Amino acid sequence: MPEIFLLSKNEPPLVPYKFPIIGHTYNFLHDAENLLKECKEKYGDPFSLYIFGNVVTFAGADIIPEVLKNSDVFDFYTGLNKIFPIHVVFKQFMKNYSSTYTARMVQEQISNKLNIYTSRLQKELLLGIEKFFGNCKEPKIFKNIHYTMSLIISKPVANVILGEEDILDFYISESETHVVDDKYLDNLFGELYNIVFASVSTTSRFFTLAIFDYAGRPELWNELYEEQLKIHNESNGGNLSIEDVNKMVKLDCFVKESLRHSADIAIIPHTVMSDSFTFSNGITVPKDRDIYLYMKDSAFSNKFFGETSNEFQPKRHMTSFSNGKIVHSPATKVDKSFMMFGGGKRACPGRFFAINEIKMCLHKLILRYNIRTESGKIVPPKIKTSTYVPSDSGLIFENRN
Ligand code: HEM
C-alpha cells in the first residue's frame, strides 16, 4: 500500500508531500500531467493534493459525472471565482447577477435560434477569412493563429448579440423598468459582456486547436474535403442553412475528436456547497472543498474509448450498421465519456452555437485552402499549468486551385 495521509474518516487520500506550505504546488505548476497520472494510479479516484495553500480534490473519469450531476452541491461559479475572480469585474455592473438567467438566455435566445443566425454567422466568418487569410495563391505562413482566430470568431458573436433580431432586443423587452438610467445600462452592459466573455475565449481556443489537428493530419484531408464539397454543391449557392451544417457528419466527428484530444489536464474547480458529500464509492468530501475535474483522465479513458484511446480517430464517434446506416454521436452531446462542455443541468448552453460556428468556419477554410503545419508533422499544443493552449508555430495556407 502506498503511504497516504487521511484528513478525516472517508476523505479522499491526501498524497504525501515533502515541503510544508509548498506541498504539491511546484509539481502541479510544472508537470501536472505526470503528477496527476501517477497519483491516480497510486491512490485511485478521487485523491487530494495540497496546492496553493489548500487541500484540493481531483475527480477522475469515475467521479466527474457525479460532480456534474449534483450541481446543487458542487458549484462551478464559486470555484471559478476563486481561480479567476471575474465576478469582481461584473459586480460593478450587475447588482443582481443570476448565472441561471444568463444560461437560460444563451440556451433560448442563441442555441435554440441557430436557424436565424446561420446566414449572418456565415457572412461574418467569410469576411473574417477574407480579411485575415485572403488570397493565398502562393503559400503563406501565418503565425499567431490563435489571435487571428479570436478576431474571426468574435465578430459573429458580436453580430448575434448586437445585430438585428438580437439579444439586445430580448434584454430590453424582458426588462421591467421603463427608465433607461445608468443602473439599467450598466446591467445591460454586464449581461452582454458576460456572454462575450463566456463564448469567445473558449470557442477560439478549441477552434484553433482543431485547425492544428487538421493541419497536422494529411490522412484526414481528402475525406473531409469531399464531404464539404458535396454539401457546398448541394447548398443554395454556397449559402449554408442549419440543415447543411447538420449534414457535416464527418466534420462533426473530427471536431469532437479534436475536442477530446484538447481536453485540459485538470480544470474548473467545483466547490462543495453542502455540509459534505459522499460519492457512490463511499468517499466523502467536506463543505468548501474545491473539486478539480481531471478531464484528461476521462477523455483518454480506455473504459470509454478502448485500447485506441490515445489515437486520433474521428470515426470512433460513428457507428455503421449492416443495412448501411451510419449513426454518429454529435460533438454537442454530453455524456459520461464526453464532458468537454460539462454535464448535467449546468452543461454549457452555448455548445450548439460554438460547434455550429466552428464547423461553418472549418467548412469554409477547408473548401478554400490547403492548410498544413510548417514542419509537416503534428504540432502539439502548449501546456499552461493544467490546460492546453495552441502552439505559437505557424500554419501554411495555400489556395486549393
Ligand atoms: C468550444 C467552446 C466552449 C466550451 C468548451 C465551453 C465549455 C463550458 C463548460 C465546461 C462549462 C461549465 C459546465 C459545468 O459546470 O458543468 C460551460 C458553461 C457555460 N458556457 Fe460554455 N463553452 C463553450 C462555448 C460557449 C459559448 C459560445 C457560450 C455562449 C454563447 C457559452 C456559454 C456558457 C454559459 C452561459 C455557461 C454557464 C452555464 C450555467 O451556469 O448553467 N459557452 N461552458
pLDDT value of position 160: 84
Residue 202 sits in the same domain as residue 234:
yes
Residue 46 preceded by cis peptide, ω within 30: yes
Residue 98 sits in the same domain as residue 78:
no
pLDDT value of position 164: 67
At 231 the three-state DSSP class reads helix
Residue 101 sits in the same domain as residue 195:
yes
pLDDT value of position 329: 97
Q: What residue's CA is closest to ligand 1, atom 17?
A: 348
Query: Are the CB atoms for 293 and 32 separated by under 8 Å?
Result: no
Q: Is 90 exceeded by the pLDDT of residue 213? A: yes
Q: Domain containing 219: what range?
A: 91-262+311-336+340-399
Q: What is the full DSSP assignment across 342-383?
A: --GGGS-TTHHHHHHHHHHHHHHHHHHEEEEESSSS--PPEE
Residue 379 lies in a domain: yes
For the ranges 176-190, 204-218, 250-264, 360-374, the lowest mean pLDDT is seen at: 176-190
Residue 45 lies in a domain: yes
Cell 442555441 sits at which residue? 111
Q: What is the full DSSP assignment across 135-182?
A: --SS-EEE--HHHHHHHHHHHHHHHHHHSSS-HHHHHHHH---S---H
Q: From the CA of 249, how far away is ligand 1's center (Å)?
A: 23
pLDDT, tens digit, for every residue of 318-332?
998 888 888 999 999
284 ligand 1 Cβ < 6 A: no
Q: What is the grid cell recorded at 167?
A: 439579444
pLDDT value of position 102: 85
Q: From the CA of 91, how far away is ligand 1's center (Å)?
A: 20
Residue 257 sits in the same domain as residue 279:
no
In the chain, the number of structural domains is 2
Query: Are the CB atoms for 56 and 289 separated by under 8 Å?
Result: yes
Residue 306 lies in a domain: no
Task: Tell me 13's DSSP state.
Answer: P
pLDDT value of position 187: 81
pLDDT, tens digit, for every residue of 374-392?
999 999 999 998 999 999 9
pLDDT value of position 7: 63
Q: Which residues are annotated as a binding site?
A: 348
- With CA atoms as reference, report the closest residue to 221 among 153, 311, 314, 134: 314
Residue 287 sits in the same domain as residue 354:
no
- What is the separation of C-alpha 109 from the centre of its chain, rounded to a whole number of angstroms? 20
Residue 106 lies in a domain: yes
Residue 227 sits in the same domain as residue 354:
yes
Average pLDDT, the chain: 91
Q: From the CA of 389, how far away is ligand 1's center (Å)?
A: 17
68 ligand 1 Cβ < 6 A: yes
Residue 275 sits in the same domain as residue 139:
no
pTM to 2 decimal places: 0.94
The mean pLDDT of 191-218, rounded to a whole number, is 92
Q: What is the CATH number of the domain that holds 35?
A: 3.30.43.20
pLDDT value of position 1: 43
Q: Which residues are annotated as a binding site for heme?
A: 348
Residue 78 sits in the same domain as residue 170:
no
Q: Is 60 exceeded by the pLDDT of residue 3? A: no
Residue 252 sits in the same domain as residue 270:
no
Residue 304 CB partners (closer than 8 Å, separation 6+): 61, 298, 336, 337
255 ligand 1 Cβ < 6 A: no
Q: From the CA of 351, how far away is ligand 1's center (Å)?
A: 7
Residue 167 lies in a domain: yes
Residue 187 sits in the same domain as residue 50:
no
